[in-house]
Amino acid sequence: MKKLYTSFLLLIVALSYGQSVVITTVADGTLYMAGCNSTSGQNIHPRFVELYVSGTVNLFGYRLELDPNGTADNGTWSNNYVFLSGTYTDEFVYIVNVPYIQGQPTPTQVDIFLEMYPNLNTDNIIFSSYGPNFNGNDAVRIAQYQGTGQNATLIGVIDQFGNPNDVASSNSYNFAWAFADGYAKRINGTPANGGNFVNSTFTYSGNDALDNLDCAAFKAAVNIGTYNTTASAKDFDTIAGLKMYPNPLSGKTLYISSDTGMEKTVSVYDVLGKQVLRGKTNNETLNVAALTAGVYIVKITEAGKTATRKLIVK
């Protein structure tokens, strides 16, 4: 059983850090019209999202989606999305907004991004008028779908930046992630969150950090391609003071506590690796009435930190 548990722990590591897509940088700024060689008498708003593809992932069926203005837009993900494609291995991909003027793309926006980051492989850049056309308080996410067009079915959310429920209007900038003319960068080693955004997994520039810069200053401020992750079993035991009891369990309630007392996301897997339960703690408790007798692996996530425990249910 110990060998099985160890093997499954490594499987959890692979799932979280191995083959995944992580949002690593989100940037929304303003360049004054004489700030770059490519400008043409108008202020430019460079907006882009940097992704890191961990392992080898075919992005067919993946989308970058935008939720503008949070609850002001009923908290729903809009039709502003970008289809992703291509197969990538341990590399960065950039989705860059290119607005349309009178039905035509503005080449200036393309030229400026390439002027700021000339060493990027253009095969790793997606220029799109649909997204990420955001202001700093718009949430974005990576989602995977099955099928195409209107009949596509959401399989799941891979990663998300921002929480639409934090934003009451288009002028709401009351949370660290909701910035105006700024940027956010993922903390190294924090994996994709499955749609459960945690503020502390990013660092933030604050408002106006990218306001009226030139190309050189923008590039210096937003240093791209810096995220890295090194997964190991010790990364999965980083929640201070974590306790899970009773174990063995014979009732319907599992208690999970830590030094912070924060809400935790809990996923429970059987010994074959199938997820059989997922939920959030409520007052440090989790209802596990759906579990039958057996041995399980419990993955616990709190503020971007993850731990695993073996659970025996009688």
Please give the pLDDT value at position 234: 45
Between 291 and 2, name the one with better pLDDT.
Answer: 291
In 3-state terms, what secondary structure has residue 161? strand
How far is it, in rounded angstroms, from Cα 45 to Cα 27? 10
Residue pLDDT, tens place only, 190-249: 888 888 888 888 888 878 888 888 788 888 889 999 998 764 444 445 688 899 999 999
Residue pLDDT, tens place only, 113-166: 888 899 999 999 998 877 666 766 788 999 999 887 777 888 888 999 988 888
Kindly tell me if the per-residue pLDDT of 108 is higher than 70: no
In this prediction, residues 178-187 reach a mean pLDDT of: 86
Residue pLDDT, tens place only, 267-286: 887 765 677 898 999 889 99
> Of 41-45, 100-104, 142-146, where does the model show the most confidence?
142-146
Please give the pLDDT value at position 7: 44
**DSSP state, residue 168:** S
**pTM for this prediction:** 0.67
Between 303 and 74, name the one with better pLDDT.
Answer: 303
Comparing C-alpha atoms, which of 201, 196, 195, 205 is closest to residue 65?
Answer: 195
Comparing C-alpha atoms, which of 184, 175, 155, 158 is closest to residue 47?
Answer: 184
